[in-house]
Amino acid sequence: MKAQKQRRSWSVDNTVPAKRTFTYTLSIECASEGNADLKAVENILDLHFQDLVMDDTFVNELDETQAVTIQVIPNFGKK
């Protein structure tokens, strides 16, 4: 079964259009075999990124005064 792409985002104010975008790639590598619960992993990442958006230090370093949005987009099986 192919995993569906799901976009989640958090913003201080969803009415403000983005003027700057910074894109990072996060890779999680596991050394052993196993069956990861990818939904649970995604939920944990979502919670941590939600905390990051509310972190004053993070927002200050972005030099942002209106809104910050972080989107978690699964890319399973892509290279």
Q: Could you read off the pLDDT of 7-50 as tens digits, one per residue?
A: 455 555 556 778 899 998 889 999 999 999 999 999 999 999 99
- Number of other CB atoms surrounding residue 9 within 10 Å: 15
pTM: 0.66
The confidence score (pLDDT) of residue 38 equals: 92
The confidence score (pLDDT) of residue 76 equals: 77
Does the pLDDT value for residue 51 go beyond 80? yes
User: Residue 70 forms beta bridges with which residues?
Assistant: 10
Q: Which helix (H) or strand (E) holds 10?
A: strand 8-11
